[in-house]
A and B are shown apart, each in its own frame.
Chain A
Amino acid sequence: EVQLVESGGGLLQPGGSLRLSCAASGFTFSKYAMSWVRQAPGKGLEWVSAISGRDNSTYYADSVKGRFTISRDTSKNTLDLQMNSLRADDTAIYYCAKANSGWPIGYFDYWGQGTLVTVSS
């Protein structure tokens, strides 16, 4: 059974940093692309970042480019999102999502339960 479990969310002030983690199990983690997708309170879904399962190339939404870094550790089956220079509009539930293949621009067949990040002074 595929499981994705996020952790690391919390409350922090603007300008701060946070590292989210997603523990993956139930599939060959190294072969699949992974993404982070966020959802601001009461709002829709926004894709944030992806990492390829083919060559570990990375992709970012313009809204987070230069501030967020996605990475994976295939020895631990974990996906991380390092978030720096956080702003109030980064407040959201952050979901870890598995892509359907190693190709990063896919659809998301499994999602974690999400972790809440709140940026507020």
Chain B
Amino acid sequence: EIVLTQSPATLSLSPGERATLSCRASRSVSSYLVWYQQKPGRAPRLLIYDASNRATGIPARFSGSGSGTDFTLTISSLEPEDFAVYYCQQRSNWPITFGGGTKVEIK
């Protein structure tokens, strides 16, 4: 199974700051890496698919990059509604796996 390791576990930032989240795969997933956002009590929401493609309706401040084993989700300028938990997921090999999550909290 491909293990996804997200770092940091928690990111404390202020609105307007840039957030950089990392997801590292235990072996190559090519570009088959996905990012979700989850707010408390809510279902996850698709943000980025296949490493760098924004999902429908996702603001341009969210961007994804990377390939192989190292991936990054960047939020260029945090809005109040961006404080949440972010998960990466690989769809390269069975079983589908998720990272442990990065919580972006208000500093």
Which chain B residues border A45 with CB–CB below 8 Å?
A: 36, 38, 44, 87, 89, 98, 101
State A50–B49 Cα separation when bound (angstroms).
Answer: 18
Q: Is the CB of B78 closer than 8 A to any CB of chain A? A: no
Of chain B, the residue at the smallest CB distance from A63 is B95
State A35–B89 Cα separation when bound (angstroms).
Answer: 14
State A109–B94 Cα separation when bound (angstroms).
Answer: 19
Interface of A is mostly: strand
User: Using a Cβ–Cβ cut-off of 8 Å, how many residues does chain A contribute to the interface with B?
Assistant: 22
State A7–B100 Cα separation when bound (angstroms).
Answer: 26
Flag if A107 contacts B34 (CB, 8 Å): yes
Interface of B is mostly: loop
State A107–B31 Cα separation when bound (angstroms).
Answer: 12
Contact residues, B65-107 vs A (CB, 8 A)? 87, 89, 91-101
Which chain B residues border A106 with CB–CB below 8 Å?
A: 91
Shortest beta-carbon distance from B94 to chain A in Å? 6
State A105–B92 Cα separation when bound (angstroms).
Answer: 7
Contact residues, B31-55 vs A (CB, 8 A)? 34, 36, 38, 43-46, 49-50, 55
Q: Which residues of B contact A (CB under 8 A)?
A: 34, 36, 38, 43-46, 49-50, 55, 87, 89, 91-101
